[in-house]
Structure 1
Amino acid sequence: MDAKYINVLLIEDNLTDTALIREMLKEVRKPRFKLHNTRRLEDGLNYIEKNGADVLLLDLNLPDSFGFDTFLKAKERVPQSPIVILSAFDDEDVAINAVKGEAQDYLIKGKVDSSLLSRSISYAIERKAIEGELIRHRDHLEELVQERTIELREANKKLKNEIEERKLAEEEIKASLDEKNILLEEIHHRVENNLQTISNLMGLEYTQLNDKEPIEIYQESQNRVKTIALIHETLSRSEDFAIIDFNKYAYDLINYLFKSYAVDKNINANINIDGILLDIDTAVPCGLILNELVTNSIKHAFPSSYFEDRKLLKSRFTSSSNREFVNDQFTGQNDITGEINVIFTLDDGNFTLKVRDNGIGLPDNIDFRYAETSGMQLVNALVRQLDGLIDLEKDNGCEFKIIFRESSV
């Protein structure tokens, strides 16, 4: 593998299409690509097994293989390689089946330019890497569960021997073993659910590929994965492995987001969540909602023009001879700051989560309930999952308010 280039294997028997792909890749300045071409599927798969490739561009109709079976054969032989399908047929069913079958992308010949091709290759490599990391993480967790199960089996053998000598402790030992088995099942259930959530989040961002750069999609996916990971980190530090102190969790999450987006010192976060304890089934959607709304404020509420306009307005007010009309927010301050406020309360069985900023607000023509962005779609879906209500106020900034009932479990 050449570290200076992205090594691309194109399996394509049409010389004209091959030449066109080669020219498209040459047009891209960064990253640089090195293209190798074979005309038969078997030759291409042998090449990857011997030499490797960063990504496989695959035509479905070849001299030695035809149709969707071509992709299935390639996936079986080289499962570690990201595959981007290049097809002359704009077949939606085939495209959907390809993506479900773990192809990284499905491109139509004649509708591809150098920019789209480069972006698709880069995203395919990144997505395959993330999938590999998730699989390794899942396998590692399964190994830990298996090791723990073996340890429990050995413990059971010892306990059975002790039962003969300690008849009076039989019920207590049995209860302890039952509790451990339930805990193992619960851990497996949580890991399985959260891995599925991560997969769904990645799929949600995949639908936004045409509107976002891959690096932005990667950062948002990374932050959402970190949001769920922080839940488990908080649980691991808790005395009760089922309950989360959401105040500590929110502080850690927002601190991570500020560092992730290199937030300017002129933006402050204020957190008021004293005494809120949540079970994991409630904490995960609440954490994801908090991530999306705070991220939205960080990225969009405080453009550079926001601070420039407020400084100009402060200057005009403080220089005016009619001082009695000077607003408090423009007096006695040396700096203009943006504020992101997070308030989470529990009153008579009702949770109320508010995320407010004093930024530029949302345009009047945008309805957040029917937003096209994956972030707001995710927020609305999570509110429905909590069986809650969401409202928006646009007074001097933007405030989202989510209300839902306390879990009865």
Structure 2
Amino acid sequence: MGVTLMGKQEMARGGAASSPEIGSRPPLCATEAPTDALRWFWLAQLLHDLPIALRFTLATCPVLFTFAVQQLFLPEAADYPFIYFVPAVLFSSLFLARGAGLWTVVLSAALIAIFLLPSPARMDLLSPRDLIALLLFVGTGWATVIVCEALHDALFGLASANSRLSEANRRIAASEEEKELLLDEVTHRFKNDLANLTAILRLQANDTSDQIARAELLAASDRVHVLDRVHRRLSMKEKVGIVEVSAFLSELCEDLRAALIGSRPIELTNDIERSYLPLTQAITIGLVTNELITNALKHAFPDGRPGTITVRLKKEGGTFCLSTADNGNGERSAVPSTGLGQRLVRSMAQLLRGRYEMIGTPQGTTCTLSFPAN
């Protein structure tokens, strides 16, 4: 078990250690195959990470391509050449950014002014119409570049934040897995220790000639055994910190019936409302239930008399009420008990921030523990 745990822990640590550092590039880089939904962003990041010289070269290519197409195939469009360069400006601004869009605007304006407008190359000889059109193209292109690069930076900032969040989630998942492994190991060892402690107490009881000491050792062994049963029940049913107590207490009553009642003419019934409790409270409730049932079996039915013990758990408003009622010897509650079992129950009531009382009548005894729901 220990070897297996260590191997799993090493794999968990290795998985965390091999992950990229927080703050690194988003994981959608050239080494990862993009999905259809993220292909455009993968291309943008691939171009974004290129060296500056290569990015400006790529920004120049669509401008020169547009210029060549316009010269070769659309010479009659000389009156409105600006529109053909807009896609190049958008491409450079969105995918290359960091100055590439502005370079595209400047290069496009220069080619238009020098080669495409039907005016001489000198700016002071451009017609007012062409000059206004050229200035509008430059101004509009510059505004487009600013907006697109701002959008570009925002998208990459969001991608970087998502990358850091994903990395943090991966580390948390690895940490949770390691914690789960350690918790399983601790629980397993704890249950083994409880079983060993139960056996030691019983062996010591068998070797003791003093009947009072023998009875106390056996009672202590029974309490430890209940702890063991509680943890086994919880480990089989729950992997989280919240316990559904109806099935848990019903099965615990079955365990106690088999272990303590046997062939005695005593019926153990339960009326447990379906409810949920934190793990620590469920363990405490299990121990209290064991003490109350054990106490009733010891004292309520002397001389083999028959009877019934009923365990109830109800929730009224914001308060849980756990009770055991028997129809046995009610006189046993006339004098407050100072036994260890009653002291344990009262201590557990304090842990639950609740109130414990035992009421006896000629018809039997009712022990009630009320505590607030968290």
TM-score by length of 1: 0.47
**Counterpart in the other structure of 1:172:** 169
What CA deviation, in whole Å up to 9, does each residue of 1:182-238 have, x standing for no partner? 445666787899979x98xx8xx99xx977241x33432232222222222222222
Matching of residues 341-352 of structure 1 within 5 Å: 341-352=310-321
| 2:363 aligned with 1:366 | no
Distance of aligned partners of 1:189 and 1:383 in 2 relative to their CA distance in 1, 3 Å threshold: farther
**Counterpart in the other structure of 1:154:** 11
Distance of aligned partners of 1:260 and 1:239 in 2 relative to their CA distance in 1, 3 Å threshold: closer
Percent identity at matched positions?
21
Quote the Cα distance in structure 1 between the aligned partners of 2:332 and 2:295: 14
**Counterpart in the other structure of 2:323:** 354
> How many residues are treated as equivalent by the alignment?
225
Quote the Cα distance in structure 1 between the aligned partners of 2:356 and 2:331: 16
**Counterpart in the other structure of 2:232:** 233
CA contact 1:357–1:399 (8 Å) conserved in 2: yes
**Counterpart in the other structure of 1:223:** 222
Q: Match of 1:349, as an amino acid?
A: G
CA contact 2:334–2:360 (8 Å) conserved in 1: no
**Counterpart in the other structure of 1:384:** 350
Quote the Cα distance in structure 1 between the aligned partners of 2:266 and 2:8: 50
Q: Match of 2:296, as an amino acid?
A: S
What CA deviation, in whole Å up to 9, does each residue of 1:255-300 have, x standing for no partner? 2222222433521111111312222211222111110110111122
What CA deviation, in whole Å up to 9, does each residue of 1:356-389 have, x standing for no partner? 1010123365213xx1x21112111111121210
CA contact 1:234–1:244 (8 Å) conserved in 2: no
Distance of aligned partners of 1:237 and 1:246 in 2 relative to their CA distance in 1, 3 Å threshold: same
**Counterpart in the other structure of 1:375:** 341
**Counterpart in the other structure of 2:293:** 294
CA RMSD, Structure 1 to Structure 2 (Å): 3.6
Matching of residues 191-270 of structure 1 within 5 Å: 212-214=212-214, 216-264=215-263, 266-270=265-269
Matching of residues 8-27 of structure 1 within 5 Å: none
Unaligned runs of at least 5 residues, structure 2: 28-162
TM-score by length of 2: 0.51
Distance of aligned partners of 1:193 and 1:236 in 2 relative to their CA distance in 1, 3 Å threshold: closer
Quote the Cα distance in structure 1 between the aligned partners of 2:186 and 2:8: 20
Report which structure shows greater RCO (CA 8 Å, sep ≥6). 2
**Matched residue SS, 2:212:** coil
**Counterpart in the other structure of 2:158:** none
Quote the Cα distance in structure 1 between the aligned partners of 2:268 and 2:228: 22
Unaligned runs of at least 5 residues, structure 1: 1-142, 308-337
**Counterpart in the other structure of 2:281:** 282
Q: Match of 2:368, as an amino acid?
A: K
What CA deviation, in whole Å up to 9, does each residue of 1:102-128 have, x standing for no partner? xxxxxxxxxxxxxxxxxxxxxxxxxxx
**Counterpart in the other structure of 2:271:** 272
Matching of residues 306-317 of structure 1 within 5 Å: 306-307=305-306
Say which is worse superposed, 165-174 or 347-356, in terms of deviation: 165-174
Quote the Cα distance in structure 2 between the aligned partners of 1:227 and 1:160: 42
Q: CA deviation at 1:173?
A: 1.6
Q: Match of 1:156, as an amino acid?
A: R
Q: Match of 2:11, as an amino acid?
A: E
**Matched residue SS, 2:240:** coil
Give 1 or 2 for the bigger CA radius of gyration.
2
What CA deviation, in whole Å up to 9, does each residue of 1:371-409 have, x standing for no partner? 1x21112111111121210112213100001011123xx
Q: CA deviation at 1:177?
A: 1.6
